[in-house]
């Protein structure tokens, strides 16, 4: 799907002199993967030129979201801002909240998943797995969660990753019996749930960007498919 060159202007959630927060659409990679570098695919960075707002440089990614994840994505507007945001992310001072709809309800309706993660080869690609005890390749990963609503074997979950590992929320929720509907990689989902858009949305970011001001709080509305499923579940959002 090709987007208009300036389509991100309509998805801009926040702007100041240091950063932007945009509402990333699901299905669009944030940057060029191997196929994109060979001219085989679109990516979000192709549209950043419309977000200069008078600055000489285009903004750049301060973090990443998976291709099929929607919602709040933070961009730095210049190198100094990117360094500051990078430090905030690496120090765990930026709070990220995700909404997920899962095929299954966790036994505990709230809690934390402390399980180290590692990347492993899978055919010609890779996937993320929970590392065994003592596996030196495992990286510390922690996610807190709570079930906001449940209906007919599905759960509406708010998840907060305390670390920033690749596919962290997806793998951690699957590990407690709550794979995300539409996830193409994790969880033994029925065919009808596998064909749906992935129900994972970066709902909120809280960024303490300025020492002398309150943290910036930004929320992204759920995409249409998620909103429809939440309504079907009778969830309030």
pLDDT at residue 38 tops 70: no
Residue 190: Cβ within 10 Å count: 9
Domain chopping of the chain, boundaries: 7-233
pLDDT tens-place string over residues 190-228: 888 889 999 999 999 999 999 889 999 999 999 999 999
pLDDT computed for residue 35 by the predictor: 46
Helices (H), ranges, 12-133: 34-37, 79-90
- Strand, helix or coil at 51? helix
Beta strands in the chain, from DSSP E residues, in sequence order? 12-15, 19-24, 60-61, 70-76, 95-103, 110-114, 117-122, 125-130, 142-151, 154-161, 200-207, 216-219
pLDDT computed for residue 36 by the predictor: 41
pLDDT at residue 12 tops 50: yes
Give the span between the Cα atoms of 149 and 121, in whole angstroms: 35
pLDDT computed for residue 41 by the predictor: 80
Specify the higher pLDDT residue, 31 or 37: 31
pLDDT tens-place string over residues 93-132: 999 999 999 999 999 999 999 999 999 988 778 999 999 9
CATH 3.30.2350.10 fits 7-233, yes or no: yes
Provide the annotated active-site residues: 66
User: Quick one: tokens of 102?
Assistant: 């899962």
Mean pLDDT of the chain: 94
pLDDT tens-place string over residues 59-95: 999 999 999 999 999 999 999 999 999 999 999 999 9
């Amino acid at each position: 799907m090709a987007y208009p060159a300036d389509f991100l202007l309509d998805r801009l959630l926040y702007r100041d002199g240091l950063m932007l927060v945009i509402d990333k659409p699901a299905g669009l990679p944030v940057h060029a993967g191997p196929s994109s570098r060979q001219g085989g695919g679109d990516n979000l960075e192709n549209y950043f030129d419309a977000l200069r707002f008078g600055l000489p440089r285009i903004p750049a990614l301060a973090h990443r979201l998976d291709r099929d994840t929607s919602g709040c994505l933070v961009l730095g507007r210049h190198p100094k801002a990117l360094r500051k945001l990078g430090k905030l992310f690496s120090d765990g001072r930026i709070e990220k909240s995700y909404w997920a709809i899962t095929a299954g309800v966790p036994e505990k309706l709230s809690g934390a998943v402390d399980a180290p993660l590692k990347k492993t080869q899978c055919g010609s690609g890779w996937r993320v797995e929970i590392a065994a005890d003592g596996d030196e390749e495992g990286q510390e990963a922690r996610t807190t969660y709570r079930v906001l609503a449940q209906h007919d074997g599905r759960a509406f979950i708010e998840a907060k990753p305390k670390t920033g590992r690749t596919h962290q929320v997806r793998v951690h929720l699957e590990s407690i019996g709550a794979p995300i509907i539409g996830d193409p990689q994790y969880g033994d989902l029925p065919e009808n749930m596998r064909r749906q858009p992935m129900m994972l949305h970066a709902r909120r970011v809280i960024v303490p960007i300025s020492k002398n001001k309150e943290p910036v709080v930004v929320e992204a509305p759920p995409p249409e498919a998620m909103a429809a499923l939440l309504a079907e579940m009778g969830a309030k959002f």
